[in-house]
Structure 1
């Protein structure tokens, strides 16, 4: 399983990195919307929306919300990202509430209409703000970096994603080797405190290195480390929340689309939570 997991990552990672670094923000946002909406489709399954027509309508509603945000942000002077910023703040608030949800395992765990409504609302509050945060980070600094014509904002987005990827890998390998104390046995029995610490260390290290490459000054690197820490913590909440949804319906993965990784949502869960936190921290602390 580890070999398959690694092989899948080696195939997908270069494609994702090339898209982040080389595509202009509108094209990357369009590509990301496709990926995020695919993850949303799997979320609907975990919310027990089994009817294909219903899932399609719900998907179109979320797509139209994304389109509406883009359309409302346009102006004769080139546009404004205020709505994207507001959506990002909403995303951060949502994940704080999701952390509280994790403490109440049984909330919306039944299979009636009200439980589905909560989980459907959660899907939009998770996916759309994360997509907005992705666009914000990518467009945050169009000035060329030391790596030639690649804008600094593109490197910042890559850094944000690599923080999550590094934290996920660090937690996986450290947890397998040293894990003894369960982090949340009822929600995700395989996650350990030792894995969490390994993920935090890996995420912060990658965040500082990526921040330096993206153009952060030495004085800014401690703030980058702080935001990386918060982003990793948020990614853990996102991971655990998706695990909670799967526990409620007895699913192991959101799908079997990605060999060794499960579904698209299984790869996006931490990213959905980390991106708004990283975008807000970056804007607030000014790096």
Structure 2
């Protein structure tokens, strides 16, 4: 399984990097919308929407929301204001999701009310993350948006890798045993260190000055913590329905949502930090 996981990662990573660096913002918005909506399809399954027709209708509604956002932004002279507002909404949502994690049994049953909460959570996770991705890639703060987006993704990837190896070697204290028994506090620390180091090391390539590096490091800390919340929240959804993975599309990795859970939470936080601190 580990070999399959590594081979799949080696195949996906160059494709993702090439797309981020070579595609212009409208194209990256379109491609990422397809990927994010695929993750949302899996989210709907975890929310107990088993009927294919119902899941398709809900997916189309979210697609229409994306199209409406693009149309409104285009008719507004190409302004990113609406996208930025959605990204800010994403930050607010993930703060609420942190509270949800503290109450494991909330919406854990399979009744209509629980489904409504999880459906709303899916939209609040996916749409703002997609908006944040577009905002970062557009690069209003001096250009190089594609490099900043790649840096944001690299922070998440480094966090996952650092947490995995640190947790395996040093992990003793469980982070959230009821939600994700394999995650440890030591792994969190290792992931945090790895994410911040990657951010500081590669931010100059995206155009950050030496004076801005402490600000980048601060945003990286927040981004890492958000990515952990995203990971834990998907684990919570899977625990509620007794699922091991969100899907089977990616060999060795599970579903698309399994690969994007951290990214969904990290991107709005990174975008907010970049807008607020101006790098």
* TM band (smaller chain): over 0.9
Distance in 1 between residues matched to 2:112 and 2:141, nearest whole Å: 46
Distance in 2 between residues matched to 1:265 and 1:109, nearest whole Å: 19
Distance in 2 between residues matched to 1:192 and 1:142, nearest whole Å: 37
1:119 counterpart = 2:79: no
Match of 2:36 in 1: 36
* 1:47-92 Cα shifts (integer Å, max 9, x gaps): 000000000000000000000001011237x321111011011000
| TM-score, length of structure 1 as denominator length | 0.96
Q: 1:182 aligns with which of 174, 178, 182?
A: 174
* Contact map agreement 1:25 1:139 (CA 8 A) in 2: yes
Distance in 2 between residues matched to 1:75 and 1:264, nearest whole Å: 32
Alignment of 1:155-166 (within 5 A): 155-166=147-158
Distance in 2 between residues matched to 1:21 and 1:123, nearest whole Å: 28
Match of 2:100 in 1: 101
Which has more helix, going by share of residues? Answer: 2
Number of matched residues? 279
Residue 6 of structure 1 deviates from its aligned partner by: 1.1
| TM-score, length of structure 2 as denominator length | 0.98
Match of 1:83 in 2: 82
Residue 142 of structure 1 deviates from its aligned partner by: 8.2
Match of 1:224 in 2: 216
Distance in 2 between residues matched to 1:69 and 1:239, nearest whole Å: 27
Residue 259 of structure 1 aligns to a residue whose secondary structure is coil
Match of 1:12 in 2: 12
Distance in 2 between residues matched to 1:214 and 1:74, nearest whole Å: 27
1:277 counterpart = 2:266: no
1:23 counterpart = 2:23: yes
Extract structure 1 runs of 4+ deviating beyond 2 A: none
Distance in 2 between residues matched to 1:210 and 1:127, nearest whole Å: 27
Unaligned runs of 5+ in 2: none
Residue 219 of structure 1 aligns to a residue whose secondary structure is helix
C-alpha RMSD of the superposition = 1.0
Match of 1:147 in 2: none
Residue 183 of structure 2 aligns to a residue whose secondary structure is strand
* Contact map agreement 2:141 2:278 (CA 8 A) in 1: no
